[in-house]
Structure formats: structure tokens, C-alpha cells
Amino acid sequence: MTRHGRKPDESTLSVWQVVELARHPERPYSLDYIRRLAPDFIELHGDRLSADDPALVGGVGTWHGRTTMFLGHQKGRTLKERVERNWGMMHPEGYRKAIRLAHHAAKFHFPIVSMIDTPGAYPGAGAEERGIAAAIAAAIMEWFRIPVPIVAAVIGEGGSGGALGMGVADRVIMLENSIYSVASPEAAASIVWRDNTRKVEAAEQLQLTSRDLLAMGVVEEVVPEPKGSARIDYDVAASALDESLHRHMQALLTQPTEDLLQHRYERFRYIDSLIHAEPQFGPKI
């Protein structure tokens, strides 16, 4: 039972309704949360190689009395912003910037909070030309060596490799009405039926809700959203996210670095250890 008096699993929404909430254009984005968690947030830019990726914001802010590195996929609110932010779809430069800022955080022993909200990495020719696959791969490998605590939160869409490239952490939590999936429902429908309009069926098959992910052991906690979802009350949503992030971070801050990295390794190395827990899975509908 949460302090909002409601269990996340009491949700009566269909899977597709959750997908729509996760993608809702009025849903709070990373900067909406970061500015509430750390009002003195200073955004830092660039990968120091060639560019700055506006689909990923990063920077430092004071959070519960401690300088913290915040990273997050950022979507735009207006059409102009959406284009600028590329709908939260990162290019290779974004992953390189994230790792640069992670090393920056490590230098100063700042803990890292990462917010995930992306349909996926950008599926365009330019991203391919500049090595998107290798950029994600290198980021995923590098996160395991970053010697400071990392807590990641899926706040909206956790889309495939583009999300996981920002999702290697010591703890991963999910907002109640967010999703995390190997492929978008549209992509899955396109693969299965060569017809991306059958996205609703695909979403039901994919098991991508926060409840599914908690049952599979892929995330540690589901953070409840205010009634009607996070878009109804940004402050309440941010406060619940803050409480959970902080609680997880507190537990990590006391761990010796060696233990932290070993546990991070084991967290992902044995993430499918519930493989024999089949009864927990299966369609809910």
C-alpha cells in the first residue's frame, strides 16, 4: 500500500490505455521532474566530440543537500520543441554526452539520477552513419564501470535499446503508467503481422507495463501516480518519484564502490533468474 492509499496493481486500465498514458503529450517530462527535485539545476551540454543532443538533457543540481548528476530523455511540448528534441529519440552524440557526464559525476563523486522517456534511439540514416549501434553498445558497457551510485527511473516510454542505453543502474524504478519494452507495440505488430495498426494486440502480448516488469524482476519498484495519472498533478507525481529515488539512493550511498559495482554487475548478469517463475507471467486479459 502506498502513501496515496492505492496499490499500483489495482489499476483497471487496459494495456493500451497505459501505453497511451505513458505517451500522453501532457505527461511530465524529465525537466519537469528535475526542476522540481533540484530547483538550482544547471544544464550542461555537449559530447565534447562534435555535438549536443537535445533529446538528452544532463546537468547538475542540489538534491537532498547533495550535488547530483541528472540525466534524462527530453521530449518537446510544442511542435517546434518536439522537432528540436527529436521526440526524445537520441542520436549517437546523446549516448556519448551521457557517458561524458557520467565520468564527470564520477570525478566529483556525484550520484547519478537517470530518467528514461524515449520511443527509442533515432531510426535515421544520420544516426546510422555516425555509429548509433556502437554508441549504445559502448554506453551500456561503460555504465558498469561508473563508480558512483546510479538510480534510473522510467517516467514514460522505455523504448528498446535506446532506453537501455540510459538504463544500466544500481536500481531501476518505474512510474506506474510508464512502459518498458524490447520493441514498440507498433514495431512488434509490424514484425508479427506486417501491419503496425495491430499495435493494441501487440502491446498486450509484449508485457510492457510497470506491473509486468516488477513481476519479471526487471525493476525494483513501481512508483504510484496521482489519480488520473502523472499529467493531472505534476507536483504530486514529482514528490512520489522524489521519495522513491531518494530512498533507493540513500541505500546505495553507503555502499563501498567495489560492492556497488559488483552488485550492479550481478543485477544485470542474473536479471533473468526468475526464469523458472513462469506462473507469474502470462496474459492478464
Partner 1 sequence: MALAKPAAELRIAGSKLPAIPLPTNCPGCGVGLDVESLRKHNYVCDCGHHFRLGADAWIALIADRGSWKERWGDVRSHDLLNWKVPKPYQEVVEQLLEDGLNEAVRTGTCTLAGRPIWLAAFDFRFVGGTLSIVAGERLARGMEQAASSGIPYVLISASGGARMQEGVLALMQLAKVNAALGRLHSAGVPYFSVLTDPTFGGTAASLALLGDINIAEPGAAIGFTGPRVIKQATYADLPPGFQSAEFQLAHGQVDLVLPRTELRHLLAHLLEMYP
CB of 133 to partner 1, least distance (A): 4
Burial of 50 (0-12, 13-18, 19+ CB in 10 A): exposed
If one asks whether residue 129 binds partner 1 (CB under 8 A), the answer comes out as: yes
Give the pairing type, strands 221-223 and 179-181. Answer: unpaired
Among 42, 49, 134, 251, binds partner 1 (CB under 8 A): 134
If one asks whether residue 140 binds partner 1 (CB under 8 A), the answer comes out as: yes
Q: Tell me the C-alpha distance between 230 and 152, whole Å.
A: 18
| Residue range at the interface with partner 1 (CB under 8 A); choices 12-20, 28-36, 204-212, 229-237 | 204-212
Q: Are 216 and 172 in contact (CB under 8 A)?
A: no
CB of 228 to partner 1, least distance (A): 26
Burial of 134 (0-12, 13-18, 19+ CB in 10 A): exposed
Report the site for partner 1 in 222-281 (rule: CB under 8 A).
264-265, 268-269, 271-272, 275-276, 278, 281
Residue 143 three-state SS: helix
Q: Are 114 and 167 in contact (CB under 8 A)?
A: yes
Q: Tell me the C-alpha distance between 155 and 220, whole Å.
A: 14
CB of 20 to partner 1, least distance (A): 19
Instruction: Tell me whether residue 42 or residue 133 sits nearer to partner 1 (CB atom).
Output: 133
* x/- letters, 36..75, toward partner 1 (CB under 8 A): ----------------------------------------
* x/- letters, 178..197, toward partner 1 (CB under 8 A): --xxxx---xx-xxxx----
Q: Roughly how many angstroms between the first and final C-alpha of the chain, as a whole number?
A: 24
If one asks whether residue 177 binds partner 1 (CB under 8 A), the answer comes out as: no
| Residue range at the interface with partner 1 (CB under 8 A); choices 38-46, 63-71, 128-136, 231-239 | 128-136
Quote the Cα angle for 215-218-222, to 5°: 65
Q: Tell me the C-alpha distance between 67 and 56, whole Å.
A: 19
List interacting residues with partner 1 (CB under 8 A): 121, 123-125, 127-134, 136-138, 140-142, 144-145, 160-161, 164-165, 167-168, 180-183, 187-188, 190-193, 201-202, 205-208, 212-213, 216, 218, 264-265, 268-269, 271-272, 275-276, 278, 281-283
